[in-house]
């Protein structure tokens, strides 16, 4: 191994680590790696941006145009109607039809786009035919991935493998070069999914989404909906919803205000509540009922006299969190400070003092942690500075405990007040003596000293004496003009990693989030500040007009809630004609695949089937940028000799067992790489090795490169193996093990089928 190879492998290793870690966007990692290779001399200035004008990128862009035409013409909706009309309510027939249609469409457009296009169709069929969504969505995405192997257009690895052959001076794959092994793989996968997936997939806990009104049952929404009455004389009367801070303080979302028998649905933040209003809210009734029912619950600012008594009974200290501190990156709830003899009561971070709801706060360098204890444990703990002490006093409150208090008999640290209400118990005053709040049971007549944000204390005082009821009038969810519906993040969503609060979801879309489905379970409390992930599904409530608005947003796919006519059904023949043009140009060798695909794409624009603006919005530019930046890495592997070096090692390891074993090794390596990395990266890194290996062994490069390309599509083991898998995770209500249970046997079948059929297409 030369020094040049060693440096290249180091650069590639760092890039792969960053891809797996997932902290930075993959396209940013790819672009940065490309520049490093250029400055290091592995890629010439002529080649550094060659990927952007490559046949692979042109082909990928064209498939997005065609995918937009499928969406605009409503072919998925028409397909659903035909399935119901001709197949009836037989689950196996419907599952087979979904897989066949999705797979065939996926052969000509991106398999991710095919999955996204047919998700609303499958959701609609699930409800109309009373089939659990969990029985349909994995067959949908897996059939899309399998169908993508039939032609060169179906998936990026197929396109990139053809590009690798072209770059090596060989004739690239044609449109149907993959068809023999691809069709065999598709048929065998369909048969397995049809007869065995139903037994392996979860049944959705018996929840069959028959009529759309039962979608609330799937999310078990009744467990989190209750009502609150605003009694006469309540301090909350006359306040706006935003000033009551139900969401930020109590984790409640007001989904309706019922006033004098009339329902005001999906109220806005500046709407005012009045006496005798009934609020329908989403939240944790079991946690908050005691607070509502306690008429004496009132937080009052601590007096100077009591604060002085507190400092006479305890030491209140501060410690600066340095870069080297063991506390950096730890949550306050996980700290074991000086054998737990100290109680964290506040954090001074830059100019802000944080009190209450400390348990989940993570400490960062330069924080000042304020603690309470009996004695100073070490010199690192200092007396409070003047400004920190002033901030602390403003954040300390007292709560009087009378005989009606629900807190009597419980220790403050067992009440979970920090997490539920954002108030941290510090001490108990009893008979003019002050005790630490840890481990002491609350008694009648106690005065509880707590820390909290002043605005939170004010909001908690406003809800005192409200009248909660565990029952909620669920019929409001089905009133005319409103709907309950599901949406999921689209493949090109910009919101992954952001919370609903970050994107101002309610203000922007005018819809109330009732629940979030994530990682196989519904989440119905404090959903506003939870980062969204690909595969999450949102249960929404609001005016139907707002659902039409969100349906046009490229960040979301609306799975249910509204019925909408296809936009351009009269343009369906042009979509089919464009596919015919593409096929004829390639089949009769009139033009190469990328020119033929681009011709079909522009034909759709010229015939007004889609507009250029629509097509640009449909293109996943991050994928285009990723692929364009990755392509020159294959050139670097080849010119540096790294591909030849690795090929030599492959031959040493498995070459002695024959060409078939070599092909199997490359196929498995490509498949395993795709489970953790983007499949495009796997093909770009492994295809040069396959070419060099074939050259050294004197066997067909086409069979080995095809094994690499199709192996990259065997990505069924986890939801993270392929973006199509992740896309359906929330809609189907899946967890990670569901993919593995179905994906493992399917992977074994796929490997066997490819090993038998690739040599038939391209003999070794």
Residue 597: is it exposed, middle or buried by C-beta count within 10 angstroms (0-12/13-18/19+)? buried
- What are the 10-residue block averages of pLDDT along the chain, 764 residues in total? 87 86 83 92 89 87 86 69 68 88 87 82 77 89 93 88 90 91 96 92 55 53 79 87 80 85 81 90 73 72 93 91 84 60 86 83 89 82 91 93 83 78 88 85 91 86 79 72 80 81 83 79 75 84 81 79 61 89 86 90 92 83 86 83 82 85 92 80 87 90 94 87 82 85 94 95 88
Read off the DSSP letter of residue 181. Answer: H
**pTM attached to this predicted model:** 0.67
**pLDDT for position 662:** 92
- Neighbouring C-beta atoms of residue 23, cutoff 10 Å: 7
- Neighbouring C-beta atoms of residue 339, cutoff 10 Å: 7
**pLDDT for position 216:** 57
Distance CA 740, CA 747 (A): 10
Q: Are the C-beta atoms of residues 362 and 329 closer than 8 Å to each other?
A: yes
Would you say the CATH fold of 299-464 matches that of 225-282?
A: yes
62 contacts: CB under 8 Å, gap ≥ 6: 153, 594, 597, 598, 600, 601
Distance CA 558, CA 486 (A): 6
Q: Could you tell me the strand order of the sheet in which 467-469 lies? A: 262-265, 253-259, 278-282, 225-229, 467-469
688 contacts: CB under 8 Å, gap ≥ 6: 164, 168, 634, 637, 638, 643
As a whole number of angstroms, the longest Cα–Cα distance in the chain is: 97
Per-residue b/e over 644-668, b at no fewer than 16 CB within 10 Å?
bbbbeebeeebbeeebeebbbbbbe
- Neighbouring C-beta atoms of residue 323, cutoff 10 Å: 8
Domain 480-558 coded CATH 3.30.70.1450:
yes
Among residues 246, 292, 331, which one has the least CA distance to residue 526? 246
CATH class of 299-464: alpha beta
Q: Map out the domains of the chain as residue ranges.
A: 3-204+573-761, 225-282, 299-464, 480-558
Return the ∠ at Cα 587 (arms to 586 and 590), rounded to 5°: 50
Cα pseudo-dihedral 379, 385, 391, 395, rounded to 10 = 40
Q: Could you tell me the strand order of the sheet in which 299-301 lies? A: 299-301, 396-400, 447-451, 424-430, 433-436
Q: Could you tell me the strand order of the sheet in which 368-373 lies? A: 352-354, 343-349, 368-373, 315-320, 382-383
**pLDDT for position 206:** 38
The two structure tokens encoding residue 260: 């004098």
Distance CA 667, CA 757 (A): 13
Among residues 272, 222, 221, 273, which one has the least CA distance to residue 540? 221
The two structure tokens encoding residue 306: 């009591």
Domain 225-282, CATH among 3.40.50.850, 3.30.70.1450, 3.40.50.300, 1.10.357.10: 3.30.70.1450
Pairing mode, if any, of strands 368-373 and 315-320?
antiparallel
pLDDT digits (tens, 9 = 90+) for 521-554: 777 766 777 888 877 888 888 888 788 788 878 7
Distance CA 295, CA 403 (A): 11
Read off the DSSP letter of residue 253. Answer: E
Cα pseudo-dihedral 99, 91, 217, 244, rounded to 10 = 20
Coil, helix or strand at residue 162? helix
Read off the DSSP letter of residue 420. Answer: H
Q: What are phi and psi of 438, to 5 degrees?
A: -75, 120
């Amino acid at each position: 191994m030369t020094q040049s190879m060693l440096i290249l492998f180091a650069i590639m290793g760092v890039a792969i680590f960053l891809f797996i870690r997932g902290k930075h966007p993959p396209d940013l990692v790819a672009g940065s790696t490309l520049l490093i290779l250029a400055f290091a001399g592995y890629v010439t200035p002529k080649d550094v941006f060659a990927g952007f004008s490559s046949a692979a990128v042109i082909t990928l862009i064209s498939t997005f145009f065609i995918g937009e035409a499928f969406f605009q013409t409503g072919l998925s909706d028409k397909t659903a109607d035909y399935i119901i009309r001709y197949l009836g309510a037989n689950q196996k027939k419907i599952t087979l039809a979904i897989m066949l249609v999705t797979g065939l469409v996926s052969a000509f457009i991106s398999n991710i786009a095919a999955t996204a296009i047919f998700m609303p169709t499958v959701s609609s069929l699930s409800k109309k035919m009373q089939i659990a969504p969990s029985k349909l969505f994995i067959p949908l995405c897996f059939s899309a991935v399998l169908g993508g192997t039939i032609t060169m257009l179906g998936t990026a690895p197929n396109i990139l493998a053809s590009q690798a052959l072209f770059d090596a001076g060989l004739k690239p794959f044609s449109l149907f070069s993959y068809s023999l092994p691809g069709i065999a793989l598709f048929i065998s996968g369909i048969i397995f999914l049809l007869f065995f997936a139903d037994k392996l997939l979860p049944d959705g806990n018996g929840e069959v989404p028959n009529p759309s009104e039962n979608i609330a049952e799937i999310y078990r929404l009744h467990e989190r909906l209750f009502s609150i009455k605003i009694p006469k004389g309540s301090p909350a009367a006359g306040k706006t919803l935003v000033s009551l801070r139900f969401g930020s303080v109590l984790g409640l979302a007001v989904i309706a205000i019922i006033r004098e028998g009339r329902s005001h649905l999906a109220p806005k933040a500046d709407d005012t509540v009045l006496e005798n209003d009934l609020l329908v809210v989403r939240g944790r009734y079991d946690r908050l009922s005691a607070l509502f029912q306690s008429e004496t619950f009132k937080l009052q600012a601590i007096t100077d006299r009591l604060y002085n008594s507190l400092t006479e009974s305890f030491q209140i200290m501060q410690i600066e969190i340095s870069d080297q501190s063991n506390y950096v990156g730890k949550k306050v709830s996980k700290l074991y400070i000086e054998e737990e003899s100290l109680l964290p009561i506040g954090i001074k971070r830059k100019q802000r003092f944080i009190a209450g709801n400390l348990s989940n706060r993570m400490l960062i360098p330069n924080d000042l942690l304020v603690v309470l204890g009996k004695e100073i444990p070490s010199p690192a703990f200092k007396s409070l500075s003047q400004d920190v002490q002033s901030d602390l006093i403003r954040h300390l409150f007292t709560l009087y405990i009378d005989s009606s208090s629900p807190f009597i008999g419980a220790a403050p640290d067992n009440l979970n007040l920090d997490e539920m209400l954002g108030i941290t118990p510090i001490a108990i005053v009893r008979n003019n003596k002050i005790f630490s709040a840890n481990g002491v049971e609350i008694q009648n007549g106690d005065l509880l000293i707590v820390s909290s944000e002043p605005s939170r204390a004010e909001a908690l005082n406003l809800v005192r004496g409200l009248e909660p009821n565990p029952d909620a009038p669920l019929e409001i969810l089905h009133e005319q003009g409103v709907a309950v519906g599901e949406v999921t993040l689209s493949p090109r969503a910009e919101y992954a990693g952001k919370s609903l609060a970050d994107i101002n979801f309610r203000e922007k879309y005018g819809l109330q989030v009732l629940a979030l489905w994530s990682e196989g379970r519904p989440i119905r409390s404090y959903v506003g500040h939870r980062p969204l992930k690909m595969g999450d599904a949102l249960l929404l409530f609001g005016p139907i007009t707002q659902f039409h608005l969100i349906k046009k947003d490229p960040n979301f796919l609306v799975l249910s809630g509204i019925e909408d006519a296809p936009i351009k059904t009269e343009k369906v023949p042009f979509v089919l004609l464009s596919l015919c043009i593409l096929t004829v140009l390639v089949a009769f060798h009139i033009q190469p695949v990328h020119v033929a695909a681009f011709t079909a794409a522009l034909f759709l624009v010229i015939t007004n089937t889609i507009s250029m603006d629509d097509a640009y919005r449909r293109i996943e530019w991050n994928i285009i940028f990723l692929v364009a930046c990755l392509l020159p890495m294959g050139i670097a592997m080849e010119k540096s000799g790294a591909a030849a070096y690795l090929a030599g090692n492959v031959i040493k390891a498995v070459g002695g067992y024959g060409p078939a074993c070599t092909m199997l090794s490359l196929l498995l390596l490509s498949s395993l790489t795709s489970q953790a990395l983007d499949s495009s990266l796997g093909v770009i890194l492994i295809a040069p090795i396959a070419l060099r290996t074939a050259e050294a062994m004197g066997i067909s490069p086409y069979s080995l490169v095809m094994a690499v390309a199709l192996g990259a599509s065997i990505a069924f083991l986890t939801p993270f193996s392929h973006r199509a898998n992740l896309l359906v995770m929330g809609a189907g209500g899946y967890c990670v093990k569901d993919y593995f249970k179905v994906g493992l046997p399917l992977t074994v079948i796929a490997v066997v089928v490819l090993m038998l059929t690739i040599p038939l297409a391209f003999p070794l």
